[in-house]
Structure 1
Amino acid sequence: MNNKFLTIHRQEAGYRPIHDRIHDFGEVEQTLNSKDRRTQASRCMDCGVPFCHWACPLGNKPPEWNDALSKGDYETAYRLLNDTNDFPEFTGRICPALCEKACVLNLMSHEPTTNRENEAAITEMAFQENLVHVVQPVRNGRRVAVIGAGPAGLVAANRLNRMGYAVTVFERCENAGGLLRYGIPNFKLNKAIIDRRLHLLYEEGIDFRYGEDIDLTSLPEGYDAYVVSTGTPTARDLPVPGRELRGVHFALDMLSQQNRILAGTDFKKDELVNARDKDVLVIGGGDTGSDCIGTAHRQGCRSVTQIEIMPKPPVGPDDPHNPWPNYPRTFKTTSSHEEGCTRRWNVNTLEFIGKDGRLTGVKVQEIKWKPNPDGGRPIMEPAGKPEVIKCELALLAMGFVKPEMPQFADNVFTAGDAATGASLVVRAMAGGRKAAADIDNYLNATNK
């Protein structure tokens, strides 16, 4: 077993300075130099029972590729990484790193191996050194349609194409990526990273058809099998008085519009969802809400407040209700929170308040949660007097509704959020791999 973890501490690349990064949409995360990155990879213990394998939805093998990275063998490191992860340049930037929370070093000292950053570094070096090659598969004469070009659909398309199927991807938006492109801000994932991978998929023969809003009850004809990977397009709403006021928007109204603006799309002034010179209220305490905070700062807001109806999570690093090697549900401060935000928990939204049709504030009330004597969801009770939070822009970031799917034929397979409801990108990618394998097994069985 490697023992460098005894003398080498965890070193993260960290973020660009706040005073610098809030003025642009460039990626906030920095990188270590190659020597320090290899040193960090050398901390991996090469455990006899590597819980990181178990924790990763893709079944990534950090001990193997960390060992290759520590030796400077980027070609082997990338091959090992790409065997299980089709697009490690995505997860290396935005994954919450379930593997790191399950790392034995996290149990011992709360200094797990920097797997996520190592993953990104391996992939960037692979592209830089021309180690990522175009593959031209031998075609098997069968055709598969993929409906939706988010992370699940892209992975399924990539796997099926490599197996020899002729793959057509139908996407209702103007470009591929799903929430990677239209939900996650550029300061977390530069869209040039997506485009770089798409160019490879184009060269490998995948046919992308954009602006195609497919009716799931009437799938395109002429295909041997289908992958439905349409995500969770319906955001959870907040139907309280005043919801119709101008200034109340879903989080993705702002996030997707800002990403499109950065890509060159023009919007009319009255169409803009912009935080400039406004007090902003973000309703919802998850990652999407955090992305709204960072975007609001870059648009020039006056202030940001984030409220969450659930209690404040325990301050870590350990979660007594979800112990190692499970992912701890603990208090999280993102790079966007660091840029400035008032955060409150146990706050319920009662009403949107406005003047002349425009939002001026939101009436809220502190609440408490009591155990339900019948079991199930706890009971919410008032715990304070109603108050008004002044704001001119309110963003609803309360998650997404799991879509209801029609009854499909046996040759139709669902993947990603369309199958599971809203979840992590890495889980959607794992769903794409499974759908591709299931289709291959199905078509091989039916053609015997």
Structure 2
Amino acid sequence: MRTIRSLLVLAILATSGPALCQVGQNWSAARSVLPPGFGASEARVVILSDGSIHISFRGSDSDDPQVGGIYYTRSNDQGYSWAAPKPAVTVSGILSITHELLADGDTLLLFMAINQLARYEVKQFRSANRGQTWDETETLYSDADPVHGLVGWKQDGRMYMMILSERLRPGGESEFSFWLSRGRASGAYWDPPTKVSNFFARAASPIRLVPNGRWPWILWKQNNADFHVLEAVAEDGTRWRDRTVAIPPSGPVSILSDRGVSYQVVTTAARQLLFNRTDDLAPTSSFLSTIPRDIDKPNLKLAWEGKDNYTLPASLRYELILDEGAPVMISSATTHEFTELKNGSHMLQMVAIDEARNRQSPATIRRFTVRVLPTAKFLSPRNGDLLNRGDLTASWEGTHNCRPEDPLLYSLKVDDGEWSEFSPEPSANIQGLADGDHALFLRAKD
């Protein structure tokens, strides 16, 4: 059976650029997985054996489960698209504290603290169909004292849940108690919670799980001043102790890996839920517009599309290279027009670039030839001129679509005579014209 990976995501400040990256990994750009109108203040992530990614998150700070309850979304294509989020469990009284999302095989287990009016409970909800439906299956904790926090983990083939309760006392200080419950890996048959430690304080931060060998540490900040850890002092986890730490241990890096791909999810101070992943696959591109082999005009309009395994089409960039020219960078568009194309053979290369800076290889290539015909016109004589002598000087001009240094050649014919040899001369002296009508013909060659 595959190992199911899960991670806790707490609210952090996100910065622009590669803030979610690690050195040496080809990370893409983070993007929100939530539609407009949704916010998230915390999240949990697991990956099931089929590679699907599952995220549960708190919608807001409200106790209304339709507004501030625990929502759920999933991706079946490694984060490219996400299902519309919906409440995972619609029950009243969900407490605004951290929740847990764990997994066993392809079964999802969601743990939430709920105010049942007379009592506070931690309940387990089970989904065997990848989050489509959830069933309440276990009550891990039930007491008159409110639940202040909970963290869960898998260890030695079993599941563990550490619950922190708070009993309000006169004088401003509360009694906080840690309760440890153990269950099977499937989430069934949880033992009654056992009180393993307590402390008195005016305030305590949310508790956080910190890996530390076989048994993890439970970390919190007390009275907004000192950091504390709860650590197991018995091999079987029956005895724990609370001690102060000068420097809080770093939490687990919020990165999961599966099938050679790493994933990261963060919630921001602006209540965004951002997803990012590593990406080593290059995008592809294809032209939508037809590019003829021969073009009789000096401009070429292009339209294309790009595809990638993670970067959305609107976020792909493109590099267009015509012959040996400098690359033309295109962002947020899939059209471009080349103008002033010179006659001759050309090669056009297009390279798509995704948000992880993977470059398409090989490039999409098209070859074409521009064949714009040269033009020529007489400057003198003008059509219909009346001459009183038998000789004249004809002059002309023309244009071509070649390089400026390339010559433009002309050939002249009088009436039904022979064409002259092509020459770059812009004029010619014509003699021996008899009385009557005459016609001059001019052609150009580049």
Same fold (TM over 0.5): no
- What is the TM-score with the length of structure 1 in the denominator? 0.24
Q: TM-score, normalised by structure 2?
A: 0.24
Higher strand share: 2
* Largest Rg, 1 or 2: 2
Higher relative contact order (CA 8 A, sep 6+): 1
